[in-house]
Structure 1
């Protein structure tokens, strides 16, 4: 009976955190839908593009969370408590670096996205600092096994972030006002996270934790870029009204991408072991793929009414009944993410390299379409879906080609007999925001 209890002890915390992530993701769509109705199509396209840049900018937060959880995981409480101040100091330095880097790239971002001024982009930079700190506090809670408190912090931060954005949007009715409110909400959320993490102090010795955070962030940056690249490219190449329509269509892609996130959170710890990975990954892919297929069929059934349902009557004229392509694209990205997590767990460098190849190919494809005058809302999302399909295909081929690991199988068998743990290094599930 001890084995079932052990399995339940592993699954229940992951399920709790997964529920928190899904709740926060649902809250973010409230902002998206309201912004699409409050702002003009051109202004909504501006906000959506900046939020896409923000998702790239908070990759250091995910890297910090991953590195912090890895460093604290499995350590005795006294040893973990000794490490937390160093990790907190690393988080403060990383947050400062993220803010300064944001200021440096402010002008290029304004030019790339053809923004009317730098105000909204400056508020986006203000969001980065507390967001980065919150990632480290999440890693402290995750690494020390306080999953219930981690779930509460995830919900608290996401709620304050959303409420701030909604308040700014309703009061100012501009992208700048929405991001200013979001920055205030994130600052409050970071303060709550710091309190819940035990109000950690600071100490010296940042080099090793900083290197670990950089390595973790580097493995995740390519996927974040791929998932959000299409909105940025659409904003850059398409006219403002079509970029706004693309941004509304991307809501369907994000729903299909985020809805099955809980599967990855629950399954990822099992993927660290080769035998469990061969057993669990196909099941997880089936669940994620089935979810994406159902959402794609549902979107196709809505036909031309899909985009107006989310953004209002101002949207849908260019895309017509093809909104389901966005949903299929998001489903492919969800499968690609799960396969990438498997590659990370297996220390497969090809998996990370494949993501960057997909990013490059999507950029080349969109640029070629724009240069030949064939770029449209549909061709842009079709290119993104093609990049996702390529990445999924590579991941499936790597999964099929992976040779069985007799040593890992023997370790699993020994653990089942002895009841002791197997020390298999694996990254925790990065927390998407």
Structure 2
């Protein structure tokens, strides 16, 4: 499939060669982004120590949850452009308008909720919660921008945007922490760094487009509805993948919660390491004819990456501890392979969630919310660090099994219907 880019030019290769170039570029960019993003958290863990780093980890977890709106906009834009490339000009204009309004609305909401964030996360200062609210604006804006670039398969500017997410965070965030080692300083660095990818996205999309086809389907209301549905599904996933740090802060001692937060650095690294697979596969999963094959190949690749990371965490646990936070977090070293398994499960669940969004499914989100409820219901019985890791892993493993069964059934059902339609068309011919 070719898509229209600025001035109506085709993107940098939509065939196999272009796909390979795009895959490699996105993989490298997202690899650097994730290394840099979690490099910042490793720096924060070392400079702040377990207790205060636990607060930073809580802020970063909430930032990820806030990012569901950004990801909902990205998924909506990418799916619509990949499915109807002739409408790209109209879709881009609508997406950007919705994105700017959504960014301001989320920022205002988080500003109102700042006192609650201060209390729930047990932060030292309410200023950190206010900075988090401001960070919601550029975070959301870059989501709509990334979705447009992803749907058009403009991998190079998309790769630059991803680089802009990670590298400035580790550089600016580290400088802020060196000047003033505190949770507020860390959040200020994150806010300033988020302005970089939003600027890159604006620059990549700044030119006017040739008018294309137009449809009522791509007006603001349908886009908002789809974005809301996608965001709610992603919210369920991100609540699931981040609720454990909030549980840890409330059922464990602050020292143990800090140790758990250190172990989660490895979990999140394993979760986001294969994220390039989701980005590359999503346009194909949005196309019914390519959906099943893209899903199965992606699941296999994500599992393989997770398996390698888990073996690495077991065999090279002393090396992994360098990334987790060093000697202060030594009590968590024996649990690192289990944290890697948890990250693998979350990566697989994330891929299944995006496959649901690609086919515009909705019911699977309810299953994820049920898993969140189960995890919260079990939390009062968790009393140890090891027990929390075990509980979260068991809940996520059960969720993955259910989602995989539902997804394969739905995809097979759609494939059967498509085959029947093709057979009927051939019979009419």
Q: Same fold (TM over 0.5)?
A: yes
Q: 1:393, CA displacement in angstroms? A: 0.8
Question: 3-state SS of the aligned residue for 1:265?
Answer: helix
Unaligned runs of 5+ in 2: 1-12, 210-218
Q: 1:243 aligns with which of 238, 253, 257?
A: 257
Residue 300 of structure 1 corresponds to: 314
Question: 3-state SS of the aligned residue for 2:147?
Answer: helix
Structure 1 residues 200 and 389, CA gap change in structure 2 (3 angstroms): farther
Contact 2:172 2:193 in 1 (8 A): yes
Structure 1 residues 16 and 250, CA gap change in structure 2 (3 angstroms): same
State the distance in 2 between where 1:122 and 1:108 align.
11
Structure 1 residues 360 and 74, CA gap change in structure 2 (3 angstroms): closer
State the distance in 1 between where 2:196 and 2:346 align.
32
Q: 2:350 aligns with which of 306, 328, 337?
A: 337
1:34 maps to 2:43:
yes
Residue 88 of structure 2 corresponds to: 80
Contact 1:134 1:193 in 2 (8 A): yes
Q: Identify the range of structure 1 (252-261 vs 187-196) with the bigger mean alpha-carbon deviation.
A: 187-196
The equivalences for 1:336-415 within 5 A come to 336-369=349-382, 375-402=383-410, 403-404=412-413, 405-409=415-419
Q: 1:305, CA displacement in angstroms? A: 7.3
State the distance in 2 between where 1:146 and 1:305 align.
37
The equivalences for 1:68-107 within 5 A come to 68-73=77-82, 80-107=88-115
Aligned residues: 403
Contact 1:72 1:144 in 2 (8 A): yes
Residue 429 of structure 1 corresponds to: none
Q: Which deviations, in whole Å up to 9, do the C-alpha atoms of 1:368-400 show, x marking residues without a partner?
A: 33xxxxx21111121211121011110232245
Residue 424 of structure 1 corresponds to: none
Q: 2:283 aligns with which of 262, 269, 284?
A: 269
Residue 66 of structure 2 corresponds to: 57
Contact 2:128 2:187 in 1 (8 A): yes
Unaligned runs of 5+ in 1: 370-374, 416-433
Q: What TM-score does the superposition give when structure 2 sets the normalisation length?
A: 0.84
State the distance in 2 between where 1:343 and 1:139 align.
17
Q: What TM-score does the superposition give when structure 1 sets the normalisation length?
A: 0.84
Residue 274 of structure 2 corresponds to: 260
Q: 1:348, CA displacement in angstroms? A: 4.0
Contact 1:304 1:321 in 2 (8 A): no
State the distance in 1 between where 2:318 and 2:337 align.
10
State the distance in 1 between where 2:146 and 2:14 align.
26
Q: Which deviations, in whole Å up to 9, do the C-alpha atoms of 1:98-149 show, x marking residues without a partner?
A: 1111012212222111122212121111211111111122223233443222
State the distance in 2 between where 1:81 and 1:144 align.
11
Structure 1 residues 309 and 221, CA gap change in structure 2 (3 angstroms): closer
Q: 1:275, CA displacement in angstroms? A: 6.1
Structure 1 residues 281 and 188, CA gap change in structure 2 (3 angstroms): closer
Q: Which deviations, in whole Å up to 9, do the C-alpha atoms of 1:179-231 show, x marking residues without a partner?
A: 11221121243223212211689xxx744433332222112111111111212
1:321 maps to 2:352:
no
Q: 1:256, CA displacement in angstroms? A: 1.6
State the distance in 1 between where 2:405 and 2:45 align.
40
